[in-house]
């Protein structure tokens, strides 16, 4: 898997992504994917298709709130599923580039 990723673990070729790759990428950061994870992964992939960029935290929270409801559109909810930096972890597992506004 490392050969397909850059030094930070993001896919070099976005077309290499599929559900199996996502499972492997998630496992590498210690996340076991549930339906709640997949709901967010598919949402950020949709965001990327629409805007051709990975959402940083603020746009991610807004998008989740609008599409999945205010309860899920909260940083605390996202942190519970993707600890540390949800925007970066989600982009990585979803096979997207690193969000530009994330440290």
Residue range 20-53, pLDDT digits in tens? 999 999 999 999 999 999 999 999 999 999 999 9
**Mean pLDDT in residue range 65-82:** 97
Would you give the DSSP letter of residue 99?
P
The answer to whether residue 5 is catalytic is: no
Measured CA to CA, the distance from residue 71 to residue 50 in angstroms comes to: 24
**Binning pLDDT at 50, 70 and 90, where does residue 62 land?**
very high
Measured CA to CA, the distance from residue 47 to residue 63 in angstroms comes to: 8
Domain spans in the chain, listed from the N-terminal domain onward: 2-93
Would you give the DSSP letter of residue 4?
G
Coil, strand or helix at 72: coil
pLDDT at site 1: 57
Residue length of the chain: 103
Residue of 4, 21, 33, 102 with catalytic role: 102
**Quick check: 103 pLDDT over 70?**
no
Determine what percent of the chain is predicted with pLDDT higher than 70.
94
Query: How much is the pTM?
Result: 0.92
Higher-confidence position of 1 and 12:
12
Say if CB 68 and CB 43 are below 8 A apart: yes
- Average pLDDT of the chain to the nearest whole number: 93
Measured CA to CA, the distance from residue 44 to residue 4 in angstroms comes to: 20
């Amino acid at each position: 898997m490392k050969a397909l990723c850059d030094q930070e673990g993001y896919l070099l070729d976005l077309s290499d992504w599929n559900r199996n790759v996502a499972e492997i990428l998630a496992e590498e950061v210690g996340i076991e994917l549930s339906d709640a994870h997949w709901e967010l992964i598919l949402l950020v992939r949709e965001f990327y298709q629409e805007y051709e960029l990975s959402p940083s935290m603020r746009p991610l929270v807004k998008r989740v709130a609008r599409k999945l409801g205010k309860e899920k559109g909260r940083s605390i909810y996202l942190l519970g599923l993707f600890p540390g930096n949800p925007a970066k972890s989600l982009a990585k597992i979803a096979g997207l580039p690193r969000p530009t506004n994330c440290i």
